[in-house]
Amino acid sequence: GISRQGYSGYSIFRNVNEEIAETGIFKGNIESASTYYSIFPYDIIKNFSSNTYTVELPMIQYYQPNSFGREAYPMAGKKTSNDKHIIFQNLCGVIVLNLLGSETIESITFSAKNAEGKPLPVCGQGTVSMNQANYSTITMSGEDNIVTLVCEDGVTLDPVTPTPFHIVLPPATYSSFTVTVVTTDGK
């Protein structure tokens, strides 16, 4: 979604480049402005006002081999009228769990605590501040402290070669965390 400065709404722009590439070609309609702000994926946007997006990071992510799930890795960008391109920056990080075995994984849940032992929000509501010069930050404000990676058809582990599972997480100091792996047979 792209918003223009001084406007509280936003418009959908779609990447028409069907190849996997470092750059995208986005098509959409928006009125002319001196500054544009952008968030990917569009579905996480709940509101835009005063150069700040209210977003909602998903509680459920979907397994993708050797990567994070589609549209699970949010990015933000800013473009002024002098810029030719919007450069997106990652808003979150990724924890990669490399698992060995012979079980078939159905899901993995992740929860974390801060230094005081309080739960950290790892999904749900947050805000993305677009005020800094070409640098955006996400601050979580909700209380949703468990994110689940769902393996829709089950992922069978190998006893020799690790299988990577990627879980997207917002920036924070994770003093401790809990990972629960559930197999398709309910273990």
pLDDT tens string, the chain, 187 residues long: the values are 555 555 556 677 777 877 777 777 777 777 777 777 888 888 898 888 777 889 999 999 999 999 888 888 898 887 776 777 777 889 999 999 999 999 999 999 999 999 999 999 999 999 998 866 667 889 999 788 999 999 999 999 999 999 999 999 999 999 999 999 999 999 9
> How far is residue 3's CA from residue 10's CA, in Å, rounded to a whole number?
4
Q: 96: which strand partners?
A: 166
User: Using alpha carbons only, what angle is made at residue 149 by residues 13 and 139, rounded to the nearest 5 degrees?
Assistant: 60
pTM, two decimal places: 0.86
Q: Which of 147, 142, 137 is nearest to 112 (CA)?
A: 147
pLDDT reported for residue 160: 98
Strand order in the sheet with 87-90: 2-4, 35-40, 75-80, 87-90
Output the pLDDT for position 134: 60
Per-residue pLDDT, 1: 52
Checking DSSP bridges between strand 146-156 and strand 104-113, what pairing results, if any? antiparallel
CA distance 23 to 35: 20
Parallel, antiparallel, or unpaired: how do β-strands 60-62 and 146-156 relate? parallel
Residues 184 and 107: their CA atoms lie apart, in Å, by 8
pLDDT score at 2: 54
pLDDT at 93: 94
